[in-house]
Amino acid sequence: MFAGCRVWGNLGSATGVIHQEGGTGSWSGCEIGLLTHGNISPVSDGIYHASKGAHPMFNSCTFCLNESRFGTVFFDSTDNGEADHILFSNCIFSLNTTVDDQWGATMHCTDDVPGRDPLCVFDRCIWRNQGNNGGTEQGTTAYESDVRSNYFPRYRLLRDVSTGWIRGGTQSAGVANADNGDIESNIADLNGDGIVDGGDLAILLGEFGS
């Protein structure tokens, strides 16, 4: 179980930055990549690589400025049972990209079981990966392929996904409010270092009028 953890500024290998094989797990209020400190793993299928029956849960987490080969979260659910879902609740995916800049900026799922119902579930999440051609195959439909999978449908929604902008440009750990795109955190802490100081003022002045 991980609570309030920060995973920033890592260069991943072929197995990703975070690699989970089997089992469940819980991530709460964590930051996997930050507006100024992303994770880079272009040779790995994903920044968070889950396989061999892994089915973690994420609550109020942010995934920001991550670059991967296929998807910020890569999920191979071939060995998962029908109830072994990966769940994202109140999570924000922002400014994530894949090396081809076309699809999977939020997630890439693969499963060798034919006709499988979706095992990735999103509940009140925000996807804002505008740097990845809108996260779509054609760059036209907002969410068409932000999640790439061979499930049908591609993914499962509990409460809807939001297009809301993230308040203040900050990715500090907090509760993602997908109804209006806010993060319940100290919005003056623009660089997410836990301190409101001159560094935050410099960011504010740099963005003034933009």
Q: Output the six-digit token pair for 186.
A: 């100290």
Kindly state the helix (H) or strand (E) to which residue 201 belongs, with its residue range: helix 198-207
Domain that holds residue 102: 2-207
Q: Output the six-digit token pair for 187.
A: 């919005």
Largest CA distance in the chain: 55
Q: Output the six-digit token pair for 165.
A: 């902008």
d(CA 159, CA 89): 9
Give the closest residue to 93 by CA, choosing from 184, 48, 32: 32
Residues 5/48, Cβ–Cβ less than 8 Å: no
* Banded model confidence at residue 169, pLDDT cuts 50, 70, 90: very low
* Banded model confidence at residue 68, pLDDT cuts 50, 70, 90: very high
130-139, long-range: CB within 8 Å, 24+ apart, which pairs?
Answer: 130/95, 131/95, 131/96, 131/97, 131/101, 131/105, 132/96, 132/97, 132/98, 132/101, 132/102, 132/103, 132/105, 133/101, 133/102, 135/103, 135/104, 135/105, 135/106, 136/102, 136/103, 137/102, 137/103
pLDDT at 129: 79
List beta partners, residue 122. Answer: 88, 157
Residue 90, burial from CB neighbour count under 10 angstroms (0-12, 13-18, 19+): buried
Kindly state the helix (H) or strand (E) to which residue 16 belongs, with its residue range: none
Q: Is the pLDDT of residue 70 over 80?
A: yes
Q: Output the six-digit token pair for 142.
A: 């907002």
* Banded model confidence at residue 138, pLDDT cuts 50, 70, 90: very low
d(CA 17, CA 46): 8
State the total domains in the chain: 1
Coil, strand, or helix at residue 202? helix
Work out the average pLDDT over 171-196. 46
More confident residue, 122 or 208: 122
d(CA 200, CA 7): 20
pLDDT tens for each residue of 102-127:
778 899 999 999 889 999 999 888 88
